[in-house]
Structure formats: structure tokens, C-alpha cells
Amino acid sequence: MKKTFTLKSFKSKPLNGLINVPSDKSISIRSLIISSVCIGNTKIFNLLESDDVINTLKVLRGLNIKIKKKNSYYEVSGQGGFFSDPKNSLNFGNSGTSVRLMTGLLSTSEVNATLTGDKSLSSRPMKRIIDPLSKMNISISDHDGLLPIRISHDNKKHIPIKYTLNIGSAQVKSSILLAALNVKGTSKIIEKIPSRDHTEIMLEYLGAQIKKQKNIISLTSPNFLKPKDLVIPGDFSSAAFIIIAVLLSKKSKVKIKDVGLNFFRTGLLDVLKKMNAKIAIKNKRKFNGESVGDIEIESSNLNSTIVKKNIVPRLIDEYPILFVAASFASGTSKFYGLKELKIKESNRLKSMAKALSEGGVKLQLGDDFIEICGKHSQQGGNLVNTESDHRVAMSMLVFGLFSKRPIVIDDMKMIKTSFPGFKELFVNLGAKIEYVQKF
């Protein structure tokens, strides 16, 4: 029988070094999708080669977009919005971002396609995109609000929409914007709760007629997007695991270069600063309209915190690792308004609460909130059921660097949906994380 391995993390020595983290997943996915609708060839430097991004690339190839891997970049031959009908259904694997963005784009393109995904993606809500897209007079259907989604090409005239988005979701916003690229006229999105604006930034950079006034985003089509080189910054959400690990370690100092610092992604920095974290941002600049900088982190004694609902979209992906920080901070931390956390790659509120309490952390879990009693020393020693969720897996491995007893995760393969090289990067900084044989 073939041996399979997983990861185990142990109490570690100080972490020190100068590193880069893998490139941004959200921006990598957008760079492939948006360059496919440019007219001509786009070079993408530092594309993240993770499962979610490679699945997006394969989907685009299935729609007859030519994408070549060169020495230092990927080259996408954009066809101005023309795709061929794929021979097979389009499989997005684990990627919610990719399937939701591509559904928008394909729904108003002249194409017939079926969109599917893995078990976790097949249980995630799609009504949130189907509802607004349906208002554009398109032919689209879902399966009781879930995948598979079917898109049919018909001769109906698609119409621009004015849509009030009540949830803070960049995936829904981007899905509508990409659909609107093919619909003559001006579409407007009124964003009640602002979310990451990578799509708006990239569309503007490539020449789309897009503007934002207060909380109203308007896109006027047709658009003729011109290729420009795109450089993908480091992923702040991946940097978050290093940031918290360094803050919790003794005598540690790490600098992470070229990290994306989009305002709507960096709520964690605001929260950590209030918790007494020693973090400095240096060398601020822009890559294709996106803010980028270097992050310097030093060991800190973290205090507890209260995180309210209004900041949720700015740190949505960082809650699992923030819960780990709160577990080792002094005092009780409280996190509110976490409804959206329940419909990620797993129900992260539940999976993290279970993993932490099995590791000895005292906590109280509510329907959309959690209170965590922090202490400098936590027990650990548990086998984590990650629910196939990459961020739960990585967060709990970081927990194991500080708990008295080591942490083992039930499976490690999903880590590469966002953070290939996670173990190696941590080990190079001084952490003790080892491969162990699966039980």
C-alpha cells in the first residue's frame, strides 16, 4: 500500500529571516480571467502556481484561450471576449472565486458551458450570483442554489443592471462586473458593505470605462481592454500566517517583501496593532494599480481584542489565524458578525472552534460570534479535522508551534490551493514542522 503523509508542528525556536510569500491568489485568478478578454497578449509575472489558479488556467484553455508558460511569465492570448464551447464540463476544483467570476463572464458571452467543482465547492451557495445575473436577461440555471451551473447561449438581448449588493462579497461584485463587460450600456452596483476591489483596479488599469463614486460602481460597455504587463504581489492572506507566527514567537524578527496591501485586505494589520503588535510597513509602492510594500514583524506580547462586524470583509480570510493569535493573547477576545465565515471552504467558525477547543482553548461559540480566552500556554496535542480547508490546516499548524504538545492535521494536500511551499517556508525561518505518516 502507498504511504501517504501529512504534517505535524512542534513548539519552535525563534523565527528569523527575509522572505517572499507566494503570490496573491485573488489577483492571480483575476489576471488570467481578465487578460483572456483583452485584445492581444498579456504577460503575467509571478503568477501563483497553486491548485486554484491552475484550475482557472485549465478552464480558460478548455474555452480555447491560449496560455503559454515562458521562463519568467505566463502569456495569455486574449480574444476580446470570444470563447469556444468547451468539450467537457468546466471543473473549478476548490475555487469559489474562480467559479463565481467565470460564471459572470461566461453568462453574457456567446458560449454553452457547465460549471462544476469538488465536494466542498459543490456545497457552497451560488444563488448569490445567479440572482443578480438573472436580472441581465441571460439563460442560466443552478442545481437548487448549488453547482453545477449551466449557461446557454441564446439570442436574447442582455440588459445592464442596477444592483444593490447587501452582502460584503467581492466575488459577487466581480461576477456582476465581468458579466457587465459584455452588456451594452451602463451597469451599476451599489455596494452596501465594501469589499476587496482587485477587479475594479485591474479593469481600470487595462482601460475599462469603470468609475467609483462613493459606494456606487459604474461600468459602461462595450469595452476594449488593452493588454499590459501584470505583476502579481505577494498574498497578504498567506503573509498573515507568518505575521502571527512571528508575533507569538520569542526573539523573532522577519521581513516579508513585496506583499499586496490593498486596503480591503489588510484589516488584520489594524486589529493586530490594537493588540500591541510590532509591525512596520516599509517601501510602499504600486504594482499595476495595487498597493504593495514590505512588512517587518517582531515578537510581541499580544493583548486581547474586540473585533466588530464593520471590519469583517477586510479580514474575512484571516479569521482562522487571528483566532490562533487570540488563543495566546492575554485576556478574552470577542469577534462578532461572522455569518460569512460559515460558508467558506468549510464552516470556519465551527471547524476552528472545534480544533481550538480540542487543543485546550476555552471558548464560547455563538451563531455568528466567538469569544476566545487567551493564555500564554495552551495544551495542543490534538489531531485536527481540517474539513479539507486550507486555512484551517495552516492556522492549526501555526497553533502547534506554540502549544505544549504538537499538532497533527488530518490531511495536508489542500494547503496547495493557496500556499504551495508552506512547510518549507516555515522550516527555513526556524519552525519545526515535519512530514508524518498518515494514521
Quote the least distance from Cβ 71 to ligand S3P, whole Å: 27
Is 317 considered catalytic here? yes
Binding to ligand S3P by residue 316, rule CB under 6 A?
A: yes
Figure out which of the listed residues 171, 262, 291, 351 binds ligand S3P, where binding follows CB under 6 A.
Answer: 171
60, three cell numbers: 480558460
Number of residues that bind ligand S3P (CB under 6 A): 11
Binding to ligand S3P by residue 55, rule CB under 6 A?
A: no
The letter for the amino acid at 205 is Y
418, three cell numbers: 493557496
Figure out which of the listed residues 6, 23, 36, 169 binds ligand S3P, where binding follows CB under 6 A.
Answer: 169
Quote the least distance from Cβ 103 to ligand S3P, whole Å: 13
d(CA 69, CA 77): 12
Rounded (5°) CA angle 365-238-355: 30
Binding to ligand S3P by residue 239, rule CB under 6 A?
A: no
Q: Which of residues 10-29 bind ligand S3P (CB under 6 A)?
A: 26
Figure out which of the listed residues 290, 317, 318, 387 binds ligand S3P, where binding follows CB under 6 A.
Answer: 317
Question: Do the Cβ atoms of 171 and 129 come closer than 8 Å?
Answer: yes
Quote the least distance from Cβ 363 to ligand S3P, whole Å: 22
Quote the least distance from Cβ 315 to ligand S3P, whole Å: 10
The letter for the amino acid at 6 is T
Binding to ligand S3P by residue 252, rule CB under 6 A?
A: no
Selected range binding ligand S3P among 78-86, 148-156, 168-176, 360-368, rule: CB under 6 A: 168-176
> Considering 317, 367, 389, 410, which one is annotated as catalytic?
317
Selected range binding ligand S3P among 56-64, 170-178, 213-221, 255-263, rule: CB under 6 A: 170-178
| Residue nearest ligand S3P, CB atom distance | 26
Figure out which of the listed residues 35, 42, 46, 97 binds ligand S3P, where binding follows CB under 6 A.
Answer: 97
Q: Among residues 174 and 378, whose Cβ is nearest to ligand S3P?
A: 174
Quote the least distance from Cβ 195 to ligand S3P, whole Å: 6
Using only C-alpha atoms, the chain has a radius of gyration, in whole angstroms, of: 21
Question: Do the Cβ atoms of 244 and 33 come closer than 8 Å?
Answer: no
Q: Which of residues 114-153 bind ligand S3P (CB under 6 A)?
A: none
Binding to ligand S3P by residue 95, rule CB under 6 A?
A: no
Quote the least distance from Cβ 209 to ligand S3P, whole Å: 22
d(CA 293, CA 298): 17
Quote the least distance from Cβ 174 to ligand S3P, whole Å: 6
Selected range binding ligand S3P among 49-57, 164-172, 284-292, 404-412, rule: CB under 6 A: 164-172
Instruction: Report which of 16, 13, 10 is spatially closest to residue 399, judged by C-alpha positions.
Output: 10
Site residues, ligand S3P (CB under 6 A): 26, 97, 169-171, 174, 195-196, 316-317, 340
Q: Which residues are known catalytic residues? A: 317
